[in-house]
Amino acid sequence: MQFMLLFSRQGKLRLQKWYVPLSDKEKKKITRELVQMVLARKPKMCSFLEWRDLKIVYKRYASLYFCCAIEDQDNELITLEIIHRYVELLDKYFGSVCELDIIFNFEKAYFILDEFLLGGEAQETSKKNVLKAIEQADLLQENLDFQIRLFPGVLNPSMSAESSGLFQS
Amino acid sequence: MPAVSKGDGMRGLAVFISDIRNCKSKEAEIKRINKELANIRSKFKGDKALDGYSKKKYVCKLLFIFLLGHDIDFGHMEAVNLLSSNKYTEKQIGYLFISVLVNSNSDLIRLINNAIKNDLSSRNPTFMNLALHCIANVGSREMAEAFAAEVPRILVAGDTMDSVKQSAALCLLRLYRTSPDLVPMGEWTARVVHLLNDQHLGVVTAATSLIITLAQKNPDDFKTSVSLAVARLSRIVTSASTDLQDYTYYFVAAPWLSVKLLRLLQCYPPPEDAAIRGRLTECLETILNKAQEPPKSKKVQHSNAKNAVLFEAISLIIHHDSEPTLLVRACNQLGQFLQHRETNLRYLALESMCTLASSEFSHEAVKTHIETVINALKTERDVSVRQRAVDLLYAMCDRSNAKQIVAEMLSYLETADYSIREEIVLKVAILAEKYAVDYTWYVDTILNLIRIAGDYVSEEVWYRVIQIVINRDDVQGYAAKTVFEALQAPACHENLVKVGGYILGEFGNLIAGDPRSSPLIQFDLLHSKFHLCSVPTRALLLSAYIKFINLFPEVKGTIQEVLRSDSQLRNADVELQQRAVEYLRLSCIASTDILATVLEEMPPFPERESSILAKLKRKKGSGTVSDIEENRKERNTNVNGGVNHSSANTNAKVTSSSSTDLLGLGSNTAINSTPPPGPSTAASLLVDVFSETSPTGPLGAPSAPVSDDNFSRFVCKNNGVLYENQLLQIGLKSEFRQNLGRMYVFYGNKTSTQFLNFSASVVCQDALRAQLNVHAKPADPTIDGGAQLQQILNIECVSDFVEAPVLNIQFRYGGTLQNIAVKLPVTLNKFFQPTEMTSQDFFQRWKQLSAPQQEVQKIFKAKHSMDTEVTKAKIIGFGVALLDGVDPNPSNFVGAGVIHTKTTQVGCLLRLEPNTQAQMYRLTLRTSRDSVSQRLCDLLSDQF
């Protein structure tokens, strides 16, 4: 896999992971191009696209699009399930994950991804093992400030799309 | 789920993110961000030392700001400080920041590498994993230099924890991808293969990816992985769905690992060992059988995972291309998917069937689905699926169904999406040519193409129809009649005017007997389009007019009248004006005989690769279509005689530009206002092309010593005369990209007698045979007196080399056999790709390559005058990037580049210090490979 992008229906980039060296300028250009291309697709269309010499595999979960670029010989369907497994991991970790969780805890989303995929390849596909690694890490840390996760004000825009669970639609 | 509450809520960060989200406008957001940046900057600069938590929080905020798309130019040092924190989350945030915002500041890199080194040796698996993730995420050359030796040790060490092994495997994979030359192969490789046997499926999953990549580059070293992979796969596919516990995904046993194992097996031919082969066949059959079983779950994840494995198995079956029953079963399975309600499956089935169509075992089976595919073209709502259908029709096309497929593509073209029209045009043009039984159908098809999608018909397409009509007597009359009729349409595309103008100019006489298409009517018809056309088309029409004057003396007056008009003779466009003036003069002063000679019918075009095919390949990159063509070629060679052979010749990696391909048919050249070069002029033309004179060698003796007179001239340039004697001149034009090269060799017969039994072959002797592949396309056995013959050599550099291949030429001239052997200037430096770098980078790398065997130095006397510009040109011609302002002494020259070979890449730095007083040079080469340093130094030092 060359890169993975998460973006919202409004085209806001929520997570970007690049497994090939590219300049910031190039990354921004690719992101713009792909966001536009994927958002223009209609619901029942197929999840695969040819783009430059790569294949794009994407899937929408509630308000978020997950979009991966893979190489010619890579397997499209298994990539779709990589996306799904990642969503499952996020869901399990955050407890019915929504876009807001990813916005406010973006660093966690990156950490979970690193445990699951490394260098663009599946590292550990067992859900249990990935979550075990993350939770161990959580336990390692000091108890300095764990009483506050998200203060009340933040979760209030509750009925917005960003707070609806990714698995609900 | 309380997991998150264990997390590290950073209140300040949450407030900030929330503020940003509440910003009503972009301006407000930028204002808020600038305020925060100022705040963070002051905290970082403040006197009070920040505690770890605050540092972490601010670094995290910076990261968030960067991810929003803003530039961040500070905070790196604070992030690096976090790396050495004992607190896990602080370290973690530090690593995340470094991974996302890599900075090439070398001091920082040293600090980062130090921190990583500490964590790698900490024996704390969580810290080790963080460090490995960071290396894998950054993957830079600097990191490869620092850790490429250490990571394999961690990977195979007996006491490494499973999770660390997983990270190490993929970390190494990333380093190998970015800097293969820095990852040392060694004793660890054998132990990596045995990770396929590991008890922990996660370790196997990670290691398999690594092994795939390594095996692709070094298949022999990883051969043993085949039997292990088959054994592992067999255990997975026969396991009950609960056996693998958490590695079972929606009732499918270890789908990711299965896919990877099947991928790995695609690096190799079918196993030779009958037992292993049998076991693999069983696995593949089991996978195919499972596809027929009722689903264990209605969830799409279940069917996706199951089918992912199935498609990968089919890819392997196609790759092996050796088991007819499996191939046909695969084809039937895909046939079922063609009508599946899931769009994704239909898409993949079309895609996968495209490759099946190229196997001789399954080509016929694929063809049975033609109606379904045509239906897909008409009914699929998603353009990307329709695109796949077009590809498949193209792949399954052969002589039996060509008419149907071409007709369907043409009718689809009328409504096709603009984005894929040009590609369809190219495909139709190729199929029509390749499978034409009678060429009237071909001509009709191309004219239809122009009518339906004129804007998408590229030059290559209409050039090609002209080439074919000129080369085939039997279709010329029909072509003239058809274009004449097509031009009657009130509105016709300019491309049709071009084709019509050219063809009537050549063959209008064939239909002039019919009073409905008399010369005057033909001329009036063409001229009625003239004013609507662009300059290049008008130029072409003017050439058609002068041809008319030769063909039809009766319209000479009319045409001269037109040429004489102000709008021609005084046309603002120089090209048009010149043509009008010259053609008018020509028609006035030349006798009928001269006119007939000058304006003679075009000679047949030499057969060559269809430029359309080349264009399609350029469009598709190295994608499926060319592969199919390639495979298909083997089965269908010469089905269609000469013309087909020209289009089937698809080895080309680089194609010559269309203008050279078409012998000046390009729209800006006068078509044949100058007569085709006669025999007497060809040799001098050749000399003109390579204006540099060269010493004339001796007449080739029967057993010729290898000539290398001009060899060293080609070290820093690619074109010129390689060899010349009284009979023969050999010219070269070459181009190189990465580890591939292509050389055009031109053999000019300087005599007026034909050379017979001409042959030219390339020999790589001894060690060179394994280091360099040179493939010479067979040359014609005769060269007419005064004529020139072109031969193409395809070159691949497998590994670094010293010797040069030898070109052996043999031919019969007036009864005696001539033998000539010439050293071919394929030198290691041709495979350079220049690398730009800063002074700092240069000297850092320079220092890293300080082992005694990595450096080669030579001090030598200048053979030529020591001109700075000439020296610069030579260094650039050598292939490296000339780095200005790197050497503190401005009179020194410094360059950097990477030698690309198939197996590895070798970075190379060079420095040339001239001493004008002493008329001496000192040349220093540093590369990671001693043989490369030595060879490059020898080659370059000879140039000054």
The mean per-residue pLDDT over the stretch B127-136 comes to 94
Please give the pLDDT value at position B462: 87
The mean per-residue pLDDT over the stretch B916-940 comes to 89
State whether B67 and A106 contact (CB < 8 Å): yes
> What are B421's two structure tokens?
């029209």
For the cut 80, the answer to whether the pLDDT of residue B38 exceeds it is: yes
Number of H helices, E strands in chain B: 42, 17
Say what the ipTM of the complex is. 0.89
Collect all residues with Cβ–Cβ distance below 8 Å to B243 and sequence separation of at least 6: B253
For the cut 50, the answer to whether the pLDDT of residue B638 exceeds it is: no
Tell me whether B263 touches chain A (CB under 8 Å).
Answer: yes
Last residue of a domain, one of B25, B58, B77: B77
Domain identity same for B790 and B870? no
For the ranges A108-112, B694-698, B913-917, the lowest mean pLDDT is seen at B694-698
The mean per-residue pLDDT over the stretch B598-607 comes to 82
Residue A48 lies in a domain: yes
Encode pLDDT of B747-800 as tens digits: 998 888 888 889 898 988 888 988 999 988 888 888 988 888 889 899 999 999
Residue appearing with tokens 């370790």: B203
Domain identity same for B723 and B790? yes
Domain identity same for B819 and B884? no
Encode pLDDT of B880-898 as tens digits: 999 888 888 888 999 999 9
Residue B735 lies in a domain: yes
C-alpha A167 chain-centroid distance: 13
Please give the pLDDT value at position B829: 92
Domain identity same for B834 and B821? no
Buried/exposed B771-781: b ≥16 CB within 10 Å, e otherwise = bbbbebeebee
Q: Which residues of B contribute to the annotated binding site? A: 11-12, 43, 53, 57-61
Encode pLDDT of B815-828 as tens digits: 788 889 999 999 99
How far is Cα B626 from Cα B620, in angstroms, rounded to an integer? 8
Residue A139 lies in a domain: yes
For the cut 50, the answer to whether the pLDDT of residue B628 exceeds it is: no
Type and span of the H or E element at B320: helix B300-320
- How many domains would you assign to chain B? 3
By residue count, chain B amounts to 944
> What are B923's two structure tokens?
């040349």
For residues B667 and B786, the answer to whether their CB atoms sit within 8 Å is no
Residue B853 lies in a domain: yes
- Nearest residue of B to residue A56, measured between CA atoms: B384
Higher pLDDT, B647 or B733: B733
Task: Check which CATH number belongs to the domain holding B792 and give it.
Answer: 2.60.40.1230
- How many domains would you assign to chain A? 1
For the cut 90, the answer to whether the pLDDT of residue A54 exceeds it is: yes
Alpha-carbon torsion (A112, A118, A119, A120), positive or negative: negative
For the cut 50, the answer to whether the pLDDT of residue B256 exceeds it is: yes
Domain identity same for B812 and B866? no
Residue appearing with tokens 């001229």: B527
Which residue of B91, B172, B205, B256 to mutate against A (max A Cβ within 10 Å)? Answer: B256
Tell me whether B18 touches chain A (CB under 8 Å).
Answer: yes
- Count of CB atoms situated within 10 Å of the CB of B783: 22
For the ranges A87-101, A112-126, B844-858, the lowest mean pLDDT is seen at B844-858
Please give the pLDDT value at position B700: 34
For the cut 80, the answer to whether the pLDDT of residue A141 exceeds it is: no
Last residue of a domain, one of B51, B77, B103: B77
Contacting residues of A for B244, CB less than 8 Å apart? none
Parallel/antiparallel/unpaired status of strands B816-823 and B706-707: parallel
Counting one residue from A and one from B, how many pairs have CB atoms under 8 Å apart?
219
Please give the pLDDT value at position B608: 63
Please give the pLDDT value at position A166: 77
Residue among B751, B694, B692 nearest B726 (CA): B751
For the cut 70, the answer to whether the pLDDT of residue B660 exceeds it is: no
Higher pLDDT, A166 or A5: A5
Encode pLDDT of B137-191 as tens digits: 998 888 999 999 999 999 999 889 999 999 999 999 999 998 999 988 888 888 9
Task: Check which CATH number belongs to the domain holding A112 and give it.
Answer: 3.30.450.60
Domain identity same for B781 and B715? yes
For the ranges A148-157, B499-508, B561-570, the lowest mean pLDDT is seen at A148-157
Which of residues 72 through 91 in chain B touch A, CB cutoff 8 A? 87-89
Last residue of a domain, one of B31, B46, B77: B77
For the cut 90, the answer to whether the pLDDT of residue A165 exceeds it is: no
Residue A82 lies in a domain: yes
State whether B9 and A21 contact (CB < 8 Å): no
Domain identity same for B818 and B910? no
Query: What residues does B744 pair with on adjacent strands?
Result: B733, B792
Please give the pLDDT value at position A161: 65
- Nearest Cα of chain B lies from the Cα of A48 at a distance, in angstroms, of 7
Domain identity same for B746 and B809? yes
Domain identity same for B725 and B791? yes
For the cut 80, the answer to whether the pLDDT of residue B63 exceeds it is: yes
Please give the pLDDT value at position B104: 63
Residue A31 lies in a domain: yes
- Nearest residue of A to residue B129, measured between CA atoms: A115
DSSP codes of every residue in A65-120: EEEEEE-TTS-HHHHHHHHHHHHHHHHHHHTS-BHHHHHHTHHHHHHHHHHHEETT
Q: Is B42 exposed, middle or buried (0-12, 13-18, 19+ CB in 10 A)?
A: exposed
Q: Which of B9, B170, B256 sits opposite A150 (nearest CB)?
A: B9
Please give the pLDDT value at position B48: 77
Contacting residues of B for A103, CB less than 8 Å apart? 17, 21
Domain that holds residue B928: 829-942
Residue B725 — φ and ψ, nearest 5°?
-135, -165
Domain identity same for B859 and B796? no
pLDDT band for B8, please (50, 70, 90 cuts): low
Please give the pLDDT value at position B471: 87
How far is Cα B296 from Cα B357, in angstroms, rounded to an integer? 32
Task: Check which CATH number belongs to the domain holding B930 and give it.
Answer: 3.30.310.10
How far is Cα B355 from Cα B362, in angstroms, rounded to an integer? 10
Q: What is the DSSP letter of B753?
A: S
Calculate the dihedral angle through the C-alpha atoms of A89, A92, A93, A94, rounding to the nearest 10 degrees. Answer: 120
State whether A46 and B87 contact (CB < 8 Å): no
Buried/exposed B221-260: b ≥16 CB within 10 Å, e otherwise = ebeebbbbbbbbbbebbeeeeeebeebbbbebbbbbbbbb
Residue among B691, B695, B699 nearest B709 (CA): B695
C-alpha B587 chain-centroid distance: 49
Domain that holds residue A85: 3-150
DSSP codes of every residue in B532-545: TS-HHHHHHHHHHH
Q: What percent of chain B has pLDDT over 70?
A: 89
Please compute, for residue B590, the number of CA atoms within 13 A of its CA located in the half-sphere on the CB side. 19
For residues B813 and B826, the answer to whether their CB atoms sit within 8 Å is no
How far is Cα B215 from Cα B221, in angstroms, rounded to an integer? 7
pLDDT band for A145, please (50, 70, 90 cuts): very low
Encode pLDDT of B303-360 as tens digits: 999 999 999 999 999 999 888 899 999 999 999 999 999 999 999 999 999 989 988 8
Residue A164 lies in a domain: no
